[in-house]
Amino acid sequence: VADVYRKVHLRPFEDVARGGAFTAGESFSVTRLECPSVRQCTLGTLICFDREIPETVRCLRALGAQLVACPLATDTFPLGLVDAGKADNELVTRCRAAENEVVIAVVNH
């Protein structure tokens, strides 16, 4: 395990104080990985809703992130909003990447 990250920005239904199952993390961090083809890569991680807050990617970039990994668990797809959900997710990701000149890799469950 190279790093442990806890989602900083929770949606209201995720907050334990409001009956959810999670508590928010408090900070962002990056991990320096040895990558044979590029010598070294600095990886930052966001989880789902964190990506929608502009400051999160900006913080990771300021810490030196060259690549941001962002797993999602979005519920827009089962609601029949496949096209809208995919378009929104792609737009948000592209905006954050362009704003901060960083590569963002996203995967949805």
The DSSP result for 78-104, as a single string, is TTT-HHHHHHHHHHHHHHHHHHHT-EE
Dihedrals phi, psi of 107, to nearest 5 degrees: -135, 135
Residue 80 has pLDDT above 70, yes or no: no
Long-range contacts formed by 78-85: CB under 8 A, 24+ apart: none
Count of Cβ atoms closer than 10 Å to residue 76 Cβ: 17
What's the mean pLDDT when you consider all of the chain? Answer: 81
Residue range 82-109, pLDDT digits in tens: 555 667 778 888 999 999 999 999 888 7
Number of domains into which the chain is organized: 1
CB atoms within 10 A of CB 2: 8
Q: What is the pLDDT of residue 59?
A: 94
Asked if residue 22 is part of any domain, the answer here is: no
Instruction: Please give the radius of gyration of the chain, using alpha carbons only, rounded to the nearest integer.
Output: 15
The pLDDT tens digits for 14-53 are 666 667 677 888 888 999 988 777 678 899 999 888 888 8
Structural domain boundaries enclosing 74: 28-108
Residue 56, domain member (yes or no): yes
Domain assignment present for 65 = yes
Segment 63-76 mean pLDDT: 84
